[in-house]
Amino acid sequence: MRPGLASGSQHAALLPAARSFFRHRVVMTEIPAASPAAGSPADTPRARGPLVWMNMDQTELDDAYDQIKYAPNMLQIVQRYASNSAAVRARLGAPQRLSYGARTIEGLDLYAAKNPDAPVHVFLHGGAWRRGFAKDYAYAAENFVAAGAHYLVADFNNVIETGGDLMAMAKQCRDALAWTFRNAARFGGDANRIYLSAHSSGAHLGGVVMVTDWEQDYGLPKDVIKGAVLVSGMYDLKPVRLSARSSYVTFTDDVENALSSQRHLDKLDAPLVVAHGTLETPEFQRQAREFAEAVAAAGKAVELLVGEGYNHFEIAETLANPYGLLGRAALVQMGLTPAQGRSHTSATATIAADTMR
């Protein structure tokens, strides 16, 4: 295990001494932008352009926010998300569809645990803000259901459908969590034990959700979410705005500031696990490290997990494994233990859809 790799077994708040080590760890593990990880774009000779962000020119920055450049097996893994999700549905049964808003897309797929008053785990999927559906992210459901937790996956509009508006997507994700808190008891969940995990652009949205002013914006307790596992996300949008992603996202100063969760840590009221793989783009690694460092510097509880040998898409699959990097971290955060010798068959939630809006 290299220096700085968290064990995945302890998720307590960082003490001052630990924060000092954490900051030291960030310096030691930083990967220069000019030396991408293995599996990154070939270092073909070309004339470098003017620097756009840190030590990157426009091409390097665009590549650093384009996953296929660093994860050539992207399509294979995304297809595996879908096939593994179908296999989980074959074992657990079809999920209950719960509406958190008026639009058809505004729904949550619920894979219900058997036990009453069960803790709740909500997942926000990625897809560069442009793609993805809840049905293809059921692959981790069995891990949580078997451990005694409800597992919900949120659907929301993509940025193409919103006309480039990330604010609308962020609001849908916040609405989904607020709805879950208000209605948890109606599907057998414990509103005081709601946790979140999110991946990629979903982790960006998850970071935004975690710095929501729940009291002012929703009239809810400030600690609606008790903890989150944020994986391979973006937490400051300035470099993203400078990248090719601005061709399909409408960035303004207000959007950049409002949706950069690293700038609003005063509103963070729950412990975080922040994770990235060592084969991710240099920017996604830096975003995770610097976000975790900022959370620690703000005096908030955080743990940085580094997945050795995982790229951006491979690391997400470990959420399905109770002994994998993310699966273990999420269960520990929720105070749950992996199921042993238990049936993975989910109870069917008896909820009338027309009563859930």
State which H helix or E strand residue 72 sits in. Answer: none
User: Confidence band (pLDDT; 50, 70, 90) for 212?
Assistant: very high
Q: To 5 degrees, how large is the angle CA 311–CA 90–CA 111?
A: 75
Report the distance separating Cα 273 and Cα 197, nearest Å: 9
Res 339: pLDDT: 83
Average predicted confidence (pLDDT) for the chain: 87
115 backbone dihedrals φ, ψ, rounded to 5° = -75, 145
Closest CA to 348 of 74, 89, 171: 89
Could you tell me if residue 38 is inside a domain? Answer: no
Could you tell me if residue 43 is inside a domain? Answer: no
Could you tell me if residue 175 is inside a domain? Answer: yes
> Could you report the per-residue pLDDT of 48-81, keeping only the tens digit for each?
999 999 999 999 999 999 999 999 999 999 999 9
> Could you report the per-residue pLDDT of 250-268, keeping only the tens digit for each?
999 999 999 999 999 999 9
Mean pLDDT of 335-346: 65
- Global pTM? 0.85
Could you tell me if residue 354 is inside a domain? Answer: no
Sequence letter at residue 229? V
> Could you report the per-residue pLDDT of 78-95, keeping only the tens digit for each?
999 999 999 999 999 999
- DSSP letter at 82? H
Q: Is residue 22 predicted with pLDDT exceeding 50?
A: no
217 backbone dihedrals φ, ψ, rounded to 5° = -85, -25
User: Confidence band (pLDDT; 50, 70, 90) for 41?
Assistant: low
Could you tell me if residue 222 is inside a domain? Answer: yes
Res 7: pLDDT: 41
The answer to whether residues 338 and 331 touch, using CB atoms and an 8 Å cutoff, is yes
Could you tell me if residue 343 is inside a domain? Answer: no
Query: Measuring CA to CA, how many Å separate 294 from each of 4, 95, 235, 288?
Result: 16, 38, 10, 10
Q: To 5 degrees, how large is the angle CA 34–CA 125–CA 150?
A: 135
State which H helix or E strand residue 200 sits in. Answer: none
Strand partners, 150: 120
CATH number at residue 213: 3.40.50.1820
| Residue carrying the six token digits 């994700």 | 173
In total, how many domains does the chain have? Answer: 1
> Could you report the per-residue pLDDT of 84-143, keeping only the tens digit for each?
999 999 999 999 999 999 999 999 999 999 999 999 999 999 999 999 999 999 999 999
Res 43: pLDDT: 57
| Residue carrying the six token digits 């273990």 | 328
Could you tell me if residue 91 is inside a domain? Answer: yes
The answer to whether residues 259 and 204 touch, using CB atoms and an 8 Å cutoff, is yes
Q: Is residue 200 predicted with pLDDT exceeding 90?
A: yes
Domain that holds residue 189: 16-29+51-337
Could you tell me if residue 305 is inside a domain? Answer: yes
